[in-house]
Amino acid sequence: MPSSAEHAAHSRWPLAVAETLLGIVLAATPVALWIAWEPEILLAVLALALASALLLVLVHRLDPAQHAAPTWRHPELRDQFFVEMHRVFPLVHHHRRTLSGRFGEAMRKVRRLVP
């Protein structure tokens, strides 16, 4: 017997496919507008893009996963983390490839501050 998570993932695939296809149509719209050689074709492309955008919003709202409560939250960072990051920031651009010396010590200290 499939779990509720498996059932939800299985029942969501048509919405995911629809979102993908509508996104591809919207991504291709600028090229289609650029190559439209007749005013009627231009209007048809604009109408298709508008319909795709509206359908994308509707499909997104139909997705039950969008209405579920989030199961994971970002950890809250302490104030000391931000103080350390602002202190370390000038070192980041020059020494980010190697974790040696002062920069390495500073980054290890910052990692300890992240929950």
Residue 71 lies in a domain: no
User: Is 85 found in the same domain as 58?
Assistant: no
State which residues form the domain around 24.
Answer: 4-66
Q: What is the per-residue pLDDT for 40? A: 93
Angle CA(29)–CA(35)–CA(36) in degrees, nearest 5?
Answer: 85
| Predicted model pTM | 0.51
Query: Per-residue pLDDT for the chain (115 aa), expressed as one digit of tens each?
Result: 455 555 555 677 888 898 999 999 999 999 999 998 899 999 999 999 999 999 999 988 887 766 666 677 777 777 777 777 767 665 555 555 555 667 677 777 777 777 6
User: Is 46 found in the same domain as 93?
Assistant: no
User: Is 11 found in the same domain as 61?
Assistant: yes
Q: Are 87 and 110 in contact (CB under 8 A)?
A: no
Nearest C-alpha neighbor of 33 from the set 44, 17, 22, 20? 44
Which residues, 6+ apart, have CB-to-CB distance to 33 below 8 Å? 42, 45, 46
Q: Would you call 18 exposed, middle or buried from its count of C-beta atoms within 10 A (0-12, 13-18, 19+)?
A: middle
Q: What is the per-residue pLDDT for 61? A: 84
Q: What is the per-residue pLDDT for 9? A: 55
User: Is 62 found in the same domain as 10?
Assistant: yes
